[in-house]
Amino acid sequence: MCIFCSIVKGEIPSYKVYEDDKVLAFLDIKPVNPGHCLVIPKKHLENIEEIDEEYLSHLVKIVKKIGNKIKNNLNVLGYNVQVNNDPIAGQEIAHLHFHIIPRQKNDNLKLFPQKNYNSGEAEEIVKKLIKE
């Protein structure tokens, strides 16, 4: 069984920060920074393509709510919201989850390295992405 489903069922303890009939938010057991939360759908869905838009909308509203609480109640300057979608993108647990990572000045958390497109590469990618 999925570890997040076990947390939802109460079989594994967690530090819950929010719960309703569709969503659960709890502290990440291995936080990047203190207050790092995970927001998950209670229904087992492996990635973002599997969730319907209404459910996703509700989930994102809770991400925003928890983000505001982190920012205001933990006195942080901001936060990152991240979804690792599929194992190749770093998803370690096959259950859709949003990370909310509190940020402080000089916390040494590095974001993605940026690159430049090669000549003509951006145009080719756009053609593929706008294709039905």
Handedness of CA 74, 13, 84, 43 (dihedral sign): negative
Active-site residue numbers? 97
**Cα 78 to Cα 101: distance, rounded to the nearest angstrom:** 9
Only one residue has tokens 């590095």, namely 110
Pull the structure tokens for residue 22: 């569709």
Angle at 84 between CA 68 and CA 17, to 5 degrees: 35
**Cα 132 to Cα 128: distance, rounded to the nearest angstrom:** 9
